[in-house]
Amino acid sequence: MALRTLDSLGSLAGKRVIARVDFNVPLQDGVITDDGRVRAALPTLDHLINQGARVIVCSHLGRPGGAPDPKYSLEPVAQRLSELLGKPVAFARDTVGESAREAVAALEDGGVVVVENLRFNAGETAKDDETRRVFAAELAALGDALVSDGFGVVHRKQASVYDLAELLPSAAGFLVQKEVDVLDRLTETPERPYTVVLGGSKVSDKLGVIEHLLPRVDRLLVGGGMMFTFLAAEGNKVGASLLEEDQLDTVKGYIATAGERGVELVLPVDAVVAASFSADAQHVIAPASGLEDTPAGASGIGLDIGPETAEQFAAVIRDSKTVFWNGPMGVFEMAPFAAGTKAVAKALTEVEGLSVVGGGDSAAAVRQLGFADSDFGHISTGGGASLEFLEGKRLPGLEILGWEQS
């Protein structure tokens, strides 16, 4: 079955449409530091507004634990949405209570209200089906239809993502539709050469995606904190760098499988090694085979891929027709250790084909390093959901919309 799209809902003029989006944006002192997820929802919201729907926007933010917590309020997000839409956006101070009911009742055709954080209600994330169902029914009472456009949560069986889609006529929004189309291309019909670049802290976070993609890719590039487990698996000493010793045998298996399948596994040949985990720590470039042969010795910490590795990675990426990247190459938040991530990001902008940034820290990194979303073929809004899709896992929030994973 194919994903149900907006067309399947027919005319939405005058109807109350719940738009389940992912506005889980980073906040600092009540100020949004990256509004990428809000902007990603605009095409769907504009479409609903232009159709004359009465739009009820709902989302989670953070992990408030099932009770109201002012620091996780969606009010700053409602204000930012108003600015981006160029029109007033009402804000309800609860999710399904009196404030929400009054705000929805006051909506006119083309009007928008943001209701308070879904996770202020314990039923949203409850493991118990009946508890979730009760909350979903309260949400359903607010609307006539559901548009699911929060890709970052489609891997979760939550009330607003799964149960609500059973209770109301439901369809995917433009963002979810695009995410599925792009990720399906990555797993089923990639143009070759197909390169996957993986970084981030831990190998254990990427086990499923490595296993599922190894038979499908031509090249696998490994950087970030996880590279040290790969280097150690090849017999190198890695000092005080991040190392998952319990994954060494698994990684040795991946190295062997890559060789058997003819996958080009590209590991770092050098790294930036620092005396401590600090932006002002003394640091040097060391070959991958000699990470402890620095002034810091065995206490040295690898915090970025080195310049030679960055050049090699960039060359492989530029020579590819399809590239998926998930996870920074180093501690990009600290300027001395951001060069590797920046080199990979720049190379992705030069790909003559499909370049996909896999959400999460990678998306934050490219924006922090000065790249525009339009520099890439696609920036996913859901790091965890993207990885689970690429792992071949069942995603409840997509299945309930008619999608069947290949």
Residues involved in catalysis? 37, 202, 360, 384
Task: Round the CA-based radius of gyration of the chain to a whole number and report it.
Answer: 23
C-alpha to C-alpha distances, 143 to 96, 160, 396, 406, nearest whole angstrom? 11, 12, 21, 32
Q: Which of 162, 149, 190 is nearest to 390 (CA)?
A: 190
Instruction: Classify 104 as helix, strand or coil.
Output: helix
Residues 54 and 16: beta-carbon distance below 8 Å: yes
Task: Determine if residue 360 is labeled as part of a ligand binding site.
Answer: yes
Query: Distance (Å, rounded) from C-alpha 337 to C-alpha 273?
Result: 9
Task: Determine if residue 302 is labeled as part of a ligand binding site.
Answer: yes
C-alpha to C-alpha distances, 101 to 79, 109, 194, 279, nearest whole angstrom? 20, 16, 50, 50
Task: Determine if residue 47 is labeled as part of a ligand binding site.
Answer: no
Task: Determine if residue 206 is labeled as part of a ligand binding site.
Answer: yes
Task: Determine if residue 37 is labeled as part of a ligand binding site.
Answer: yes
Task: Determine if residue 24 is labeled as part of a ligand binding site.
Answer: yes
Task: Determine if residue 34 is labeled as part of a ligand binding site.
Answer: no
Task: Determine if residue 361 is labeled as part of a ligand binding site.
Answer: yes
Task: Determine if residue 132 is labeled as part of a ligand binding site.
Answer: no
Task: Determine if residue 290 is labeled as part of a ligand binding site.
Answer: no
Task: Determine if residue 252 is labeled as part of a ligand binding site.
Answer: no
Task: Determine if residue 23 is labeled as part of a ligand binding site.
Answer: yes
- DSSP labels, 211-245: HHHTTT-SEEEE-STTHHHHHHHTT---TTS---G
Query: Distance (Å, rounded) from C-alpha 25 to C-alpha 22?
Result: 8
Task: Determine if residue 225 is labeled as part of a ligand binding site.
Answer: no
Q: For residue 46, how far is the Cα from the chain centroid?
A: 23
Task: Tell me whether the omega of the peptide bond preceding residue 193 falls within 30 degrees of 0, making it cis.
Answer: yes
Task: Determine if residue 156 is labeled as part of a ligand binding site.
Answer: yes
Query: Distance (Å, rounded) from C-alpha 162 to C-alpha 140?
Result: 12
Task: Determine if residue 101 is labeled as part of a ligand binding site.
Answer: no
Q: Which of 70, 68, 63 is nearest to 29 (CA)?
A: 70
Annotated binding site for substrate: 22-24, 37, 60-63, 119, 156
**Known binding-site residue numbers:** 22-24, 37, 60-63, 119, 156, 206, 302, 333, 359-362
Binding residues for (2R)-3-phosphoglycerate: 37, 119, 156
For the annotated binding site for ATP, the residues are: 206, 302, 333, 359-362
